[in-house]
Structure 1
Amino acid sequence: MKYLKSVAFFGVMLQLFACSYLPLGNQDSAVLKPASDQREYRYTELENGLKVVLISDAGADKAAASLDVNVGSRQDPSNYQGLAHFLEHMLFLGTEKYPEAGAYQAYITAHGGSHNAFTSFEHTNYFFDISADSLEPALDQFAQFFVAPLFNAEYVQREVNAVNSEYRARIRDDQRRELAVFKSQINPEHPFSKFSVGNLHTLHSNDEAALREQLLAFYRKNYSANIMTLTVIGRESLDELESIVLPKFAEVENHNRELAPIETPLFKAQDLPRWVNIQPVQNRRSLSVNFPVADAEEYWQSKPLNYIGNILGHEGPGSLLSLLKARGWADSLNAGQGFNYQGGALFGIDVALTESGLDHVDDILGLIYEGIAQLRDKGIDEWRFDEQAGLANQQFMFRAQPAAIHEVVQLSMALQKLPARELLRGPYLMNQYRPELLEDFLAMMTPENSFISLVAPDVDVSADIPRYQVEYGLRDISEPQLTAMASANTSGMTLPSKNEFVATNFSLKKAVGEKGPKQLTETPFEVWLNTDDVFDLPKGRVYLLLESDKAVTDAASRAKSDLWLKMVKDQLNELSYPAQLAGLNFDLSVGWRGVQISIGGFNEKQGELLRELLTALKDPEWQQARFDRLKAQRIRQFENARRQSPYKQVVAELPRMLKRVTPSLDNHEMATKSTDMAAVSEHAKTVMKGVRLRMLLDGNFDEADAVSLASVVTSVLPKSLSEGTSSQFITHLPIGKSVREITAEHDDTAVLMYLQSADTGMKARVAMGLTAQMLSADFYHQLRTEKQLGYVVNASVYPQREVAGLMFLIQSPVLDPASVQAEISAYLQQWLSSGMDEASFDKHKAGLLLRLAEQPENLWDAASRHWQDLLEGYPEFNSRELLVTALRDLSYTDWLALAKRDLAEQGQRAIVVYNAGKWPESLPQGAPSGEPNEFKSRLPAYQFD
């Protein structure tokens, strides 16, 4: 369902005493859960007011925890804006019990885990996951952040620099810029108008002592147990989890913090309607209409804004989007609640415009108002509510568990708003049809209550916000003008009809014989089947590969394949959208092997969707207007790729240097611009004439399903299939450094250093993986926390098939690229000389073994693993087992020799990709690579079938 997670503006995030805990009404099975959920739940409230949900998952390989504080930038003092965010940074830098800064991060990483935190308007959330056998020690360190953090003075300046680097890194991010304009237009007395990220100026970095005092006062006042919620998942029993978790968090102090709803209106009465023009960094055009509405949280059993957003954001026949596409004015549309807080919310409709649509913004706005009026007059129907409620209930009843780290974050935040009993079901529950409530909310969505923003190049502007270098202007518009727009021609626009894709058969298939995917012998092409017997859901995923080396032989063929698939997806959008609402989705993509189709969700009607998809793929509707719109959209994507943050651009450039069939950005763009619909049509026919088919059914399927779906394929596609397989080529780097410069429109420098192992195979991969795990936390701590090079600092493993590699990435506002490269190199040489003892090796090896041995966390993860193995040449589906075996056999002596060979300065096989930022004369060490295609053509390559 297309609810707006964020409309145009929002992308965008010590005196402690010990106290005993007293569980208030421990309730096993108090949390309502789907029948397929085999985990056990317990809700507990401690004596200090902290609410806790414990989840026992006996088979879990990963444990996880999240603590949510119902405090965020809303509570920032007006003269210390960004303080809540700054506190989030400072909290990780040592506690009384664990004073070493970076120790928590190092422990999590060494034991196969990850960690992070975020600050939003009303929430600050801290979370981690870790190997299941290491939960208690990690939780003990985690709990101390909320019991006795040090907030050492020595780190104040360093972390305020980190906050400033984070702000600067996204200074040209359009969502941040549009949010800044929005904040400048709302009621200045509303707390959302504050600058939530913070920088050197708003945090008064010139007075560290005063800043630290503000930090301590904020923590004492706001980090109170009674507004905290905690979720923990572990493999221990509920009783064991309770004995582990509760004593650690019973010491969190309760300051009895009370949070009242915000009564200050988001907009003053005279401020609306208002129209704002904004010039973006990227080549994008959007029209957004937002309505301040009442807080809908108390109506969580009716979900009025979900209902309204579902209908206005519908993409089926007769929808607002369908009408806009038919007129050539829009590429996409989203509708729903984009922002809510205690006391109010914002409901928005966001339209991605075509160039033609930019000339018809008044007409589009009128259609939006007419769509709302149509819903108000004719669309408040009980059967529509019942259909939405039924689909939501199906989603709940057959919910695929997300990864543990995502689950704990979602649940800890939900626990702030929902009764514990409804923690899982609450987000899906719609059991109270209240038409008067829908009428009330729709009555707030009027022209005179509109905040309109038009984002496009060359719009009229007359003001700017220096903090984000964004120019904007106000367009004079009166209530009568807006009302007059609502007389737009709405011919063809209708309310959604009954959804024909709603599943009704939820029976489960039983696996026969050995576990794991098996190739069937009675099908006309290669078909694999894995009948799931782990997750017990009436769902599955079908993968179908149309293998052809003609799909991506060069930039021209890749560009044509991209546009062909875009045509098919756009053509099918009206059909597939109701299927998506009913829990059935599909994807089309092109890769080095050819065209890949993926269908997932309830398995009952996958055959119908597959037939429609293949029919359209074989013989698309070649409409010139659609082709022109999609080609223009694709060209904008290339333009915008060059306007992303520097670190994103250098990361995107690396596979263009390594993968033989991946064209350079320039060549890909030129090929797209030079092709036409006739050429794309001919290309599609050429590819389809000689495809090799491979299919995997993974989930709630049996052999009869496999045979049936295979017959759907052969009834649509040609019977004469080609033989043979495609090959993938990965650049084989020589010793030395090859340097590639990209040009990003940003003052920050960004440097990516990729190191390729001299060997290929599983041993090389696990050796590089182990090296990455051993140094990643320390690399981050030394170069970000200690040296303050920038906000984006990362070291990670970067394998390409069996070609092992490491990637080091820094975006810096303070150093030129040559100096950043020198810092990376110096760190590596220092680490080689002092960070490679055998005890550390053994600890990290054990953690990586646990991580590699982790079982899939849900049905989709399992299917994805099987498909990747099949595509990469592991028909026994044992790639992880092979990695585990290689790692077990890897001795400290062997690993040390490999690490010294591949990381030592004189032995490095490196690619350095960089953006110079404001240091154009700075040149990193190494030989210029030239364009990616030229670079790849003069070097040998590893070949993989």
Structure 2
Amino acid sequence: MRYLKSVGLIVIFFQLAACSWLGSDWLNSRDTSAVLKPVSDQREYRYTELENGLKVVLISDSAADKAAASLDVNVGSRQDPKDYQGLAHFLEHMLFLGTEKYPEAGAYQAYITANGGSHNAFTSFEHTNYFFDISADSLEPALDQFAQFFVGPLFNAEYVQREVNAVNSEYRARIRDDGRRELAVFKAQINQDHPFAKFSVGNLETLRSDNEVALREQLLAFYDKNYSANIMTLTVIGRESLDQLEAMVLPKFAGVKNRGRDLAPIEQALFTAGSLPRWINIQPVQNRRSLSINFPVPDAERYWHVKPLNYIGNILGHEGSGSLLSVLKARGWADSLRAGQSFDYQGGALFGVDVALTESGLKHVDEIAGLIYEGIALLRAKGIEEWRFNEQAGLANQEFMFRAQPAAINEVVQLSMGLQKFPARELLSGPYLMDEYRPGLLAEFLEVMTPENSFISLVAPGVETEFEIPRYQVSYGVRDITAEQLSGWTSANTAGLGLPIKNNFVASDFSLKKGDGSAIPKLLTDTPVELWLNTDDTFELPKGRVYLLLESEEVAADAERRAKSDLWLQMVKDQLNELSYPAQLAGLDFNVSVGWRGVQLSVGGFNQKQGELLRELLQVLKNPEWQQARFSRLKAQRLRQFENARRQSPYQQVIAELPRMLSRETPGLSAHEAATQKAEMSAVASHVASVMKDLHLRMLVDGNFSEADARSLAGLVDAALPMTLETRSPAQFITHLPVGSLVRQIAAEHDDSAVLMYLQSATSGLQARVAMGLTAQMLSADFYHQLRTTKQLGYVVSASVYPQRDVAGLIFLVQSPVLDPASVQNEITTYIQQWLKAGVDEASFEKHKASLSLRLAEQPENLWDAAGRHWQDLLDNYPEFNSRDQLVEALGDLQYGDWLALTQRDLGETGQRALLVYNSGKWPQAVPIGNASGEPDQFKAALPAYRFE
């Protein structure tokens, strides 16, 4: 056993015993010390390296409902040939389109979907990662197909043009994405001999799509050179034992070729000598203002026991009293601030400070830059202290020791990438471990964070620009930096600036409370607070979450009251920021939000200190400081959010518009914006007073809490909010669509069309919900394959279930650079009718039904998932906390004939209740078929609605 000391606690880490295994010629070695893990982690781990050099971590979780796998290749756009930029990304697309053993394109996706899973992949600068999850009993067939990607891919010539079109559609879909536009400007400024300067996404031009034969030859050559087992890492989670997993997994990947790929650090400097400092102005699409200062720094990856950039970022990015953000907010110059490593690669990194500016801040950018440099100078002179390092290290260690396991699919991705960085033994602990205090090393990193070594970018509407990058239609300019400016940046007005003080929210009591084994909440009291308690016995973590609903019809009854409630809660969160930030560092969090039921609060994390945070939150919620400067800043920020909502990608806008059309409690964008613009601080204060007079309080305490803890927390609520009366619960109204097709146009500034078709079931209830869910599972993979891969309509293509309470629905979504919205509507409609005509036989129905039943019956993956499910059941009036059980029962009762009749009625041409939301793109004259809906609020008022409480 190994013992690690932390704040107030000694935690025991278990080593896994070595398991016996008959030797195989493809097994190189096994690390019997396995992986260090927290005591709360009940899973078993085994690290193995195959003869071909592939590194594998197997994870046995006997209670898992979902299995998952991820394979990481330590290759990405860095390896793209200069004359085929985007090739690594293109290869990622092509790999899914058939293998020697499984030649049918789309078969892998169909199998994953049919067995309750999901899949994806991504390409970054130095990594390409492939991953999936699936029902635990279907892991082996999925793995067999997955492994073949790396053993025998076909890269069929017939798919080359189709998939290069898909890559081009992906590029075009995000051509107005500010993040990508700013990255394009950055790449144009750095050393053009550095591989990061290349265009990583790829398009028709850079992939030379006019010569398919040459492109395929390049693809094959890239794969043969780079996809080598010795730079691959694999992680697999399954419910089988470690021996069973080893027997299942390792032979499948033994055939991956080891091509002996060697990856040396990048030798080229990110910036050429003499090119810094540099100031760039960038014109954004959205109404946003930011000032970013980035410093090229040495590669910090080898110092993972010290984590120097984490240490520096935690102090510069602190939001407590005396912090950079606190001073900037006090001067009215900033809304938020982030600091930390912004980019890293084998050989170097970037460290950045990014400030979201107010309108006033835009007039003081040089002073803000000076404050950042002075903050760094203060840290360099007085902030390298052992107690600060120990505090950060202790908090990170606590986070590891009481780590809540993420969803399996997220876990395998994190771990496969981590296995490229950390020794297997420290695979879980490595991202958290800070056990070497090296002040000299911290000083070395701070020494290069100077004005002379800065890349500065100012993003704001109306900045001076003189150049353009046509690929992303982005204008930028270069601002000269004078010696006088450099001098001024080291003599800024630093009044109020200081270093963080000791964190008083650090927990020290990690004892576990004993529950009654029921695993569901029980009602403790119904007055003055309706109080529910679930003492967790499953996950055994000294953490939990407290939920509180201030139920009131006044909070969001119309756009005007909704806008006032939004501004009220923005004031609360902003006022609490300096207090809540150290709490967040210590593993606590809180949130307040507006919904149709009222105001919802939650506090989560280590349970010991939650009462202190909840008390402060309730006091500020009831009596916020009504400061006009703060109110004006937050109101302007809120109005920018409305403006920017209209500048999102078309597919994002049509998705966002759907709930505004269906839920009466969700105001239309224009109505919500107008109400916000009209709101004055005095009116908001009066609104708060009105809301607080008439509340019904519902509370759930879930996690490591005893009954005494729950009653004590409820006492805080009762003391802070004494004027509580039980009132009639607010009601939720979901629009009941008529038979036929209604269309709603949105105006996105984008050449692509986008169409979202929502089909609502003619009946509400659990049977309709599970029938629609089953239909979505059956057709989603095929819809994607037919419209995206075969017909090449665009990069964004999906079909999914869309339930709202007991109102069942399906959505079909396409964003297309090649078809107008009317034609996209026709393609969706044609697909649906052809799918209905082809039919689904009873055997397939039963298979999908069994798979969906397993998905619905999946147990929570972690403490937060469990608490969230309990809270949602409580809100949706399932006092037995059995909503999923009821869905499973309804699915079990659903017979083939019943499902077929429901599906033909709801998807058939004559019975459809359709709402189509679309963007015209570059085809303004092509109007989809259907009656115009009009504005959301008038649309909803004119139609009947389902009512829910």
1:722, distance to aligned residue in structure 2 (A): 3.0
Are 2:243 and 1:222 equivalent residues in the alignment?
no
* Equivalence for 1:511: 515
Q: Aligned pair in 2 of structure 1 residues 533, 29: CA closer, same or farther (>3 Å)? A: farther
Q: 2:877 aligns with which of 856, 873, 876?
A: 873
Q: 1:168 aligns with which of 168, 172, 182?
A: 172
Q: 1:435 aligns with which of 419, 432, 439?
A: 439
1:23, distance to aligned residue in structure 2 (A): 3.0
* Equivalence for 1:9: none
Q: 1:467 aligns with which of 467, 471, 486?
A: 471
Give the 5 Å matches for 1:210-609: 210-512=214-516, 514-521=518-525, 524-609=528-613
Greater mean deviation of Cα atoms: 836-845 or 703-712: 836-845
| Unmatched 5+ stretches in structure 2 | 1-22
Contact 1:20 1:251 in 2 (8 A): no
Q: 1:944 aligns with which of 940, 945, 948?
A: 948
Are 2:808 and 1:804 equivalent residues in the alignment?
yes
Give SS of 2:845's match: helix
Report Cα offsets for 1:5-48 as digits up to 9, x if no partner: xxxxxxxxxxxxxx975434423452000000000000000000
Return the TM-score normalized by structure 1. 0.98
Q: 1:653 aligns with which of 638, 652, 657?
A: 657
User: 1:209 & 1:410 partners in 2: Cα distance?
Assistant: 36
Q: 1:698 aligns with which of 675, 690, 702?
A: 702
- Number of residue pairs matched by the alignment: 927
User: 1:205 & 1:469 partners in 2: Cα distance?
Assistant: 22
The residue type paired with residue 475 of structure 1 is R
Are 2:146 and 1:142 equivalent residues in the alignment?
yes
* Equivalence for 1:7: none
Contact 2:333 2:358 in 1 (8 A): yes
* Equivalence for 1:837: 841
Are 2:136 and 1:132 equivalent residues in the alignment?
yes
Q: 1:639 aligns with which of 621, 643, 657?
A: 643
Q: Aligned pair in 2 of structure 1 residues 522, 209: CA closer, same or farther (>3 Å)? A: closer
The residue type paired with residue 216 of structure 2 is R
* Equivalence for 1:684: 688
Q: Aligned pair in 2 of structure 1 residues 553, 579: CA closer, same or farther (>3 Å)? A: same
Q: CA RMSD in A?
A: 0.9
User: 1:688 & 1:85 partners in 2: Cα distance?
Assistant: 54
User: 1:480 & 1:628 partners in 2: Cα distance?
Assistant: 34
Q: Aligned pair in 2 of structure 1 residues 322, 923: CA closer, same or farther (>3 Å)? A: same
1:840, distance to aligned residue in structure 2 (A): 1.7
Q: 1:898 aligns with which of 887, 895, 902?
A: 902
Q: 1:752 aligns with which of 753, 756, 771?
A: 756
User: 2:498 & 2:155 partners in 1: Cα distance?
Assistant: 59
1:726, distance to aligned residue in structure 2 (A): 1.1
* Equivalence for 2:51: 47
Contact 1:28 1:41 in 2 (8 A): no
Give SS of 2:608's match: coil
User: 1:482 & 1:109 partners in 2: Cα distance?
Assistant: 57
1:808, distance to aligned residue in structure 2 (A): 0.3
1:843, distance to aligned residue in structure 2 (A): 1.4
Identity, % of aligned positions: 77
Report Cα offsets for 1:597-651 as digits up to 9, x if no partner: 0100000011111110000000000000000000000000000000000000000
The residue type paired with residue 145 of structure 2 is Q
Q: 1:181 aligns with which of 180, 185, 191?
A: 185
Report Cα offsets for 1:278-331 as digits up to 9, x if no partner: 000000000000000000000000000000000000000000000000000000
1:513, distance to aligned residue in structure 2 (A): 5.6
Are 2:201 and 1:197 equivalent residues in the alignment?
yes
Contact 2:517 2:537 in 1 (8 A): no
Contact 1:72 1:122 in 2 (8 A): yes
Give SS of 2:262's match: coil
Contact 1:86 1:198 in 2 (8 A): yes
* Equivalence for 1:883: 887
The residue type paired with residue 280 of structure 2 is V
User: 2:722 & 2:666 partners in 1: Cα distance?
Assistant: 28
The residue type paired with residue 892 of structure 1 is Y
The residue type paired with residue 606 of structure 1 is Q
* Equivalence for 1:934: 938
User: 1:137 & 1:273 partners in 2: Cα distance?
Assistant: 55
* Equivalence for 2:6: none
1:557, distance to aligned residue in structure 2 (A): 0.3
1:569, distance to aligned residue in structure 2 (A): 0.2
Report Cα offsets for 1:532-587 as digits up to 9, x if no partner: 00000000000000000000010000000000000000000000000000000000
1:481, distance to aligned residue in structure 2 (A): 2.0
Are 2:716 and 1:712 equivalent residues in the alignment?
yes
User: 2:908 & 2:154 partners in 1: Cα distance?
Assistant: 38
User: 2:403 & 2:235 partners in 1: Cα distance?
Assistant: 19
Contact 1:277 1:474 in 2 (8 A): yes
1:836, distance to aligned residue in structure 2 (A): 1.6
The residue type paired with residue 876 of structure 1 is E
Give SS of 2:27's match: coil
Q: Aligned pair in 2 of structure 1 residues 871, 29: CA closer, same or farther (>3 Å)? A: farther
Contact 1:365 1:486 in 2 (8 A): no
Contact 1:593 1:727 in 2 (8 A): yes
Q: Aligned pair in 2 of structure 1 residues 213, 303: CA closer, same or farther (>3 Å)? A: same
The residue type paired with residue 781 of structure 1 is H
User: 1:20 & 1:914 partners in 2: Cα distance?
Assistant: 58
Give SS of 1:351's match: strand
Are 2:779 and 1:775 equivalent residues in the alignment?
yes
Report Cα offsets for 1:684-742 as digits up to 9, x if no partner: 11111111000001100110011000000011102442322111000001101110000
Give the 5 Å matches for 1:63-102: 63-102=67-106
The residue type paired with residue 141 of structure 1 is Q
User: 1:796 & 1:100 partners in 2: Cα distance?
Assistant: 23
The residue type paired with residue 853 of structure 1 is A
Are 2:126 and 1:118 equivalent residues in the alignment?
no
User: 2:784 & 2:207 partners in 1: Cα distance?
Assistant: 23
Q: Aligned pair in 2 of structure 1 residues 209, 683: CA closer, same or farther (>3 Å)? A: same
User: 1:647 & 1:788 partners in 2: Cα distance?
Assistant: 16
1:515, distance to aligned residue in structure 2 (A): 3.0
User: 2:137 & 2:943 partners in 1: Cα distance?
Assistant: 46
Contact 1:73 1:85 in 2 (8 A): yes
User: 2:24 & 2:862 partners in 1: Cα distance?
Assistant: 38
1:480, distance to aligned residue in structure 2 (A): 4.7
* Equivalence for 1:851: 855
1:934, distance to aligned residue in structure 2 (A): 0.6
1:529, distance to aligned residue in structure 2 (A): 0.4
The residue type paired with residue 753 of structure 2 is T
* Equivalence for 2:8: none
1:889, distance to aligned residue in structure 2 (A): 0.8
Give SS of 1:416's match: coil
Give SS of 2:101's match: coil
Contact 1:29 1:40 in 2 (8 A): no
Give SS of 1:79's match: coil
Contact 1:224 1:254 in 2 (8 A): yes
1:486, distance to aligned residue in structure 2 (A): 1.9
* Equivalence for 2:677: 673
1:838, distance to aligned residue in structure 2 (A): 1.5
* Equivalence for 1:911: 915
Return the TM-score normalized by structure 2. 0.97
The residue type paired with residue 207 of structure 2 is L
Give SS of 1:759's match: coil
The residue type paired with residue 434 of structure 2 is M
